[in-house]
DNA sequence: CGGACTGTTGATCAAGGTCAACCTCTGTGG
DNA sequence: CCACAGAGGTTGACCTTGATCAACAGTCCG
């Protein structure tokens, strides 16, 4: 599971989007070329930069190539909920193709390399290849599953479980794109951002992290996080299924190829 | 905004799904016929019935024609988070078309009339008409926006604001499908279910509702809820944008019709 | 009239928030 | 090389929100 796709063709540089979509649907060379074209114009920005803001009109989605970003919603009095973190290969947010305004803001966490993808480009692709259409829909569904699990964690789990859940989620997603191994991962967010993702104050987040450390589940050193006891962490987290990538059934793939 | 589509063709019975998708994309008679066919076989079940369970394999989504349902995730010790309520016209959950297991359970709240829609049917439709594909994607995006807003409410709002948000959301959605007017709506859920949606205990939910009543925002009598002060309620809620239906831009619709 | 179900209220308790001090780093300029 | 500043993280003391436990009230049945 860990970075299998990366080692598949080590000599050939593939965009993280292709790597990701390929985990669920067989892509033809033509599909791959079309997807590569989506990311041909690369933009860069510094960490902390805002990529777009909630309620503003938008016509393009952001395709992340390299670096971290996060999406959040901030209330008028400053309370902020981080909706999720965006990793290389994530298309944020595809819903721009079907709605005209963002429901949230997006901000770079680290220096970022990204492309802007216009709605027309993706809808043209969909028209030409329903297989690519399904792949995008699938990516969107995966995103939705993550948000749903996040809602359950924030709504019904204790601070301890919730933080464990959040880190488990990131670890799993990073392993899927080959950016983490079984030992741990790099996570370049400050505790204020993590707290806003968990729906906690940063003070209580700090205490919770110390407790996870004290009890031997995970350890943080700077931006490096290591998983000390994956088994107990998994038990704590409970909902891990929504994070799995399920390839499209062959039956359906064949139908889409006709 | 209130039930405009319903009064448009009062003599002709249209499925709630068609009414809903039509608000965002111009549907041809052929599209409408194809969508009607999706709901041709009707099933019925009693309130309280479980329609499907989390982690179980599924190949069909549930299209609600009449009645209420809700989707939830229950942890091993019984803590339950209601993810959202399903109303007539909702396709729950379309992600079954792209993932093989449900990430949550679905349960009827009232007696329910519904159809089962297999993945193949919708993917065939998508292949034949990218316009219908976009419409489904859009419906999914709308669902996602609701879940995101729910996450913000549960993560960062007080109990008072959160309950106000939840009721505002339902009121808005019901008005969109012509099942509520400016005065209020029918909501057939007990306080235990509402509490699990808000991420509160039912005791605290009861207190919160009494306070909303005492302060003149809304009043409940049995299953009938009336909005007493929509303005103040709206101020309290803050995030209302994610709930709006944005029709697909004409530009994009034209491209999809070719 | 009794029982089940749903909602309300009061009393008490715990999880987590808030405020404030302090502690490391790390980078910077004298 | 040291002094200092600033950012990010940690800890303690105290307070608030909402959970828990328990009793009771209304309603809808039989």
Q: Is residue A22 part of a domain?
A: no
When CB atoms are compared, the residue of B55, B133, B196 closest to A126 is B133
Highest mean pLDDT among A8-17, B72-81, B90-99: B72-81
Q: What integer pLDDT is reported at residue A7 of this predicted model?
A: 40
Q: What pLDDT sits at residue A244?
A: 65
Q: What's the pLDDT at A186?
A: 95
Please answer yes or no on whether B81 and A155 come within 8 Å at the CB atom. yes
Given A81, A114, A147, which residue is the final one in a domain? A114
Q: What is the pLDDT of residues B214-223, one digit of tens each?
A: 999 999 998 9
Greater confidence, A238 or B191?
B191
pLDDT tens for chain A, 258 residues: list them: 343 443 444 435 678 888 888 888 888 899 999 999 988 899 999 999 999 888 888 778 999 999 999 999 999 999 999 999 999 999 987 777 667 677 889 999 999 999 999 888 888 888 888 888 888 888 888 888 899 999 999 999 999 999 999 999 999 999 988 899 999 999 999 999 999 999 999 999 999 999 999 999 999 998 999 999 999 999 999 877 666 666 776 777 777 776
CB nearest B103 (choices: A124, A241, A248) = A241
User: CA-CA distance, B132 to A98, in Å (whole number)?
Assistant: 12
- Indicate whether A233 and A165 sit together in one domain: yes
CA of B54 to C1' of D26 (A): 37
Angle at B74 between CA B69 and CA B78, to 5 degrees: 120
Task: Out of B156, B242, B251, name the one closest to residue A81 (CB).
Answer: B156
Query: Which chain A residue lies closest to B145 (C-alpha atoms)?
Result: A103
Domain assignment of residue B243, yes or no: no
In a domain, B97, yes or no: yes
Per-residue confidence (pLDDT) for residue B204, from 0 to 100 = 98
Interchain contact, B126 vs A141, CB within 8 Å: no
User: Is B167 found in the same domain as B100?
Assistant: no
Task: Check residue A258 and give its pLDDT.
Answer: 63
In sequence order, what are the residues at sequence separation of 6 or more whose Cβ sits closer than 8 angstroms to the Cβ of residue B24?
Answer: A98, B135, B138, B245, B246, B247, B248
Inter-chain touch A150–B151, beta carbons under 8 Å: yes
- φ/ψ (deg, to 5) at B11: -80, -25
Residue B80 confidence class, pLDDT cut points 50, 70, 90: very high
Would B23 be classed as within a structural domain? no
What CATH number does the domain containing B103 carry? 2.60.120.10
B104: pLDDT strictly greater than 60: yes
Q: How confident is the model at residue B8 (pLDDT cuts 50, 70, 90)?
A: very low
The answer to whether position A256 is within a domain reads no
Name the token pair of B219.
């009043």
pLDDT band at B44 (very low <50, low <70, confident <90, very high): very high
CB B166 within 8 A of CB B197: yes
Residue A26 lies in a domain: no
In the 8-state DSSP scheme, what is residue A57? B
Q: What is the pLDDT of residues B105-147, one digit of tens each?
A: 999 999 999 999 988 888 888 888 888 888 888 888 888 889 9
Phi/psi of residue A111, nearest 5 degrees: -55, 140
Residue in chain B lying closest to A100 (CA): B246
Residue B52 clears pLDDT 70, i.e. is over it: yes
User: What is the model's pLDDT at position B244?
Assistant: 65
Within a domain: B207: yes
Using CB atoms within 10 Å of the CB of residue B210, give its burial: 0 to 12 exposed, 13 to 18 middle, 19+ buried. Answer: exposed
Whether the predicted pLDDT of B210 surpasses 80: yes
User: Could you tell me if residue A230 is inside a domain?
Assistant: yes
What CATH number is given to the structural domain containing B220?
A: 1.10.10.10
Domain match, B164 and B227 both: yes
Confidence category of residue B60, pLDDT binned at 50, 70, 90: confident
By the 8 A CB rule, do A142 and B99 touch? yes
The pLDDT tens digits for B145-183 are: 899 999 999 999 999 999 999 999 999 999 988 899 999
Search chain B and give the residue with CA nearest A198. B155
Judge whether residue B38 has pLDDT over 60: yes
Measured between alpha carbons, how far is residue B204 from residues A151, B80, B144, B198, B220 in Å? 20, 16, 28, 10, 16
Which residues span the domain enclosing A102?
A: 46-114
pLDDT at A11: 36
Distances in Å between the Cα of B52 and the Cα atoms of A168, B112, B136 are: 26, 14, 21
Closest CA to B162 of B70, B83, B237: B237
Instruction: Round and report the angstrom distance from CA (B202) to C1' (C9).
Output: 13
A145 neighbourhood in chain B, CB within 8 Å:
95, 99, 103
Predicted local distance difference test score (pLDDT) of residue A1: 39
The answer to whether residues B162 and B233 belong to one domain is yes
Domain count, chain B: 2
Question: Which pTM value belongs to this model?
Answer: 0.92
Best residue of B78, B80, B99 to probe chain A, by most A CBs closer than 10 Å: B99
């Amino acid at each position: 599971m860990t970075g299998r796709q990366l080692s598949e063709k080590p000599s050939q540089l593939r965009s993280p989007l292709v790597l990701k979509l390929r985990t669920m649907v067989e892509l033809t060379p033509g599909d791959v070329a079309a997807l590569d074209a989506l990311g041909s114009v690369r933009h860069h920005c510094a960490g902390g930069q805002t990529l777009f803001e909630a309620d503003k009109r938008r016509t393009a989605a952001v395709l992340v190539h390299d670096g971290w970003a996060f999406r959040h919603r901030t209330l008028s009095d400053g309370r902020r909920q981080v909706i999720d973190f965006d990793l290389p290969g994530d298309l944020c947010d595809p819903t721009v193709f079907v709605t005209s305004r963002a429901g949230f803001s997006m901000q770079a966490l680290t220096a970022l390399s990204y492309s802007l993808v216009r709605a027309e480009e993706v809808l043209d692709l969909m028209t030409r290849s329903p297989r690519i259409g399904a792949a995008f829909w699938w990516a969107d569904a995966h995103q939705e599953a993550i948000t749903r699990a996040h809602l359950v964690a924030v709504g019904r789990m204790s601070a301890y479980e919730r933080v464990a859940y959040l880190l488990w989620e990131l670890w799993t997603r990073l392993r899927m794109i080959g950016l983490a191994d079984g030992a741990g991962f790099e996570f370049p967010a400050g505790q204020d951002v993590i707290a806003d993702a968990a729906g906690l104050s940063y003070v209580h987040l700090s205490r919770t992290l110390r407790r996870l450390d004290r009890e031997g589940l995970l350890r943080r050193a700077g931006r490096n996080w290591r998983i000390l006891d994956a088994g107990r962490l998994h038990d704590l987290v409970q909902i891990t299924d929504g994070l799995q990538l399920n390839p499209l059934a062959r039956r359906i793939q064949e139908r889409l190829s006709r």
